[in-house]
Amino acid sequence: QKEVEQNSGPLSVPEGAIASLNCTYSDRGSQSFFWYRQYSGKSPELIMSIYSNGDKEDGRFTAQLNKASQYVSLLIRDSQPSDSATYLCAVNRASVMRDMRFGAGTRLTVKP
């Protein structure tokens, strides 16, 4: 079992729709969770972080965390073609080692 799992996609949504990206993680002690966006050939760019169960909204983005289910998601409302990218879920483990574990990413395409 991978430590952080995401559907690889591609996920295709029409412009203006809601895109839903999902992520599960295996380390029950994980404390912080991040969503990064990565355009092709570029480095990851932080979109949102979430640390507590529930929802966190920032503009068109909403992150949802359920620690009991070990599940974190990202909703993108009013999707735009510029949102087309790979979205990486990252989890910061609660062990001594402070590295962040990334999923392989979900490729999102927003069609005009």
Residues 74-93 that bind other proteins (CB under 8 A): 88, 90, 92
Applying CB under 8 A, does 72 fall inside the site for other proteins? no
Q: Which stretch binds other proteins (CB under 8 A): 39-47, 54-62, 66-74, 77-85?
A: 39-47
Applying CB under 8 A, does 67 fall inside the site for other proteins? no
Applying CB under 8 A, does 98 fall inside the site for other proteins? yes
Q: Which stretch binds other proteins (CB under 8 A): 14-22, 54-62, 65-73, 97-105?
A: 97-105
Q: Give the nearer residue to other proteins in terms of CB position, either 68 or 97.
A: 97
Burial pattern 57-90, b for ≥16 Cβ within 10 A else e, equals eeeebbbbbebeebebbbbbeebeeebbbbbbbb
62 near 72, Cβ under 8 Å? no
Least CB distance to other proteins at residue 8 (A): 8
Least CB distance to other proteins at residue 88 (A): 5
Classify 8 as helix, strand or coil. coil
Distance CA 29, CA 67 (A): 9
Applying CB under 8 A, does 4 fall inside the site for other proteins? yes
**C-alpha pair distances (Å), 27 with each of 3, 32, 70, 92, 106:** 7, 11, 8, 9, 20
